[in-house]
Amino acid sequence: MSKRILANDGIDAQGKALLEKAGFTVITEKVAQENLAQAINEHNYIGLTVRSATKVRKDVIDACPGLKLIGRGGVGMDNIDVEYARSKGITVVNTPAASSHSVAELVFAHLFTSVRFLDDSNRQMPVNGDTQFETLKKKYAKGIELKGKTIGIIGFGRIGQAVAKIALGCGMKVIAHDPFLKEALLDLEIQGAKEKVRIAVSTISMEDLLTQSDMITVHVPGGKSITKNEIAKMKNGVILVNIARGGVIDENDLIEGLNSGKIAHAGLDVFENEPTPSKAILSHPKISLTPHIGAATEEAQERIGIELSDLIIEKLG
């Protein structure tokens, strides 16, 4: 049987090497979406790996009877018709654990940016820093610390728990909501400590989380978790972060909350209209922005590549 794999959105070198050692031929040359099915059939690929760019919908699945496995390098599989593929006998795998810490660190990149106005400061300093230094110094002089603040985490799976660990390290109070989990035991690895520190975090109701949190970060696979109804229940001056899925925080309601002052700041890595986010979101002075890079660290991509390769070898080797 052919053991050819198309890594259409790329794969880390270590993962590629593992597959090749196991006898697979791995092709990393990008195939355009409209030519994907033709390429799979023409070159007899039995495995296809993707990240978020390539879509594997019913039309591709139906057109490729020789495809045995679809692998998603990352967590979310909303770019794959997972159940339909599995109904056709195709194995579908992903790497949910590999990118958790990278995503969690980006949450805090946005939080630190928000509380110290780094996004706006980095826009203004190159333009006005040499002529309005004292004015800008005064403008950005009302920052706050994360220490002592309450962070509310909606969705307390792997990523939510990784966020909680960093928050605890920053001296924050952690509260969480997850309808599928009553309690999580977090093992904190502290450099220099001989043993891990274990902390139990019990989940609470969504209502309590909304009313108690100074900052809220959302880690759910989709849907509209935060709309004007939820925003109305939050503390004045709350900070919101979305590194999960575009639309989990309703963007129109977010802008309304920012403009009214109910929401002090927001950090967004994902957007409702990717890859063409709305100009209103992109130009808002109280939103910290990144272009869907939650898992885009060298360390995460290495872990993803290795985990994905292990799964392919296990299923097809």
Catalytic residue annotation: 245, 274, 292
Enumerate residues 6+ apart whose C-beta is below 8 A from 301.
12, 73, 295
CB 98 within 8 A of CB 76: no
Let me know: does 106 contact 290? Beta carbons within 8 Å.
yes
Report DSSP state, residue 214: S
